[in-house]
Amino acid sequence: MVALFSTLQEDFKDDNTPLMVRCELPQIWAAPMALRRVLSNLIQNAQRYAAGFPVTLVCEQGPQGVRIGVLDQGPGIPETELERMQQPFQRLEASRSQGTGGVGLGLAIVKELAKANGWSLQWISPPAGGLQCWIQLHPGA
């Protein structure tokens, strides 16, 4: 796990929006390519929309198994839009400009990969702003 997080930290090195990592778990059992894709999509989105603020990648052991979070301090997604943003080709910002983001597939891919691997997603949009995405990796899934 530490190796994956270190690689992600190097891949998403950004002086303007640094990726901070907090993980002390030596390893977890999960589909490595799927987990890397999910985390990459979430980190990329967080860095895009939280420009100027750090993004934090966290993993922790809990009673339900391991959970991993990508936490940012950007503008967040309103609670009323969270479900829609997980559908293909949906974006809060209507333009398709590369300067303002992609085509709206990142969170849909996250949702489908999580579902295919038996992982649960929890989206938290704190009142103060930002977005937290927690991935619960269920034991035996």
- pLDDT, block means (10 residues), the chain with 141 residues: 87 94 81 94 92 93 89 86 70 55 78 95 90 87 53
Q: Give the whole-angstrom CA distance, residue 69 versus residue 46.
A: 11
Domains and CATH numbers, the chain: 2-128 (3.30.565.10)
The reported pTM is 0.85
pLDDT score recorded for residue 76 = 82
Amino acid at 130: G
Residue 32's Cβ-side half-sphere holds a number of Cα atoms within 13 Å equal to 9
CA neighbor of 61 nearest in space, from 122, 139, 141, 140: 139
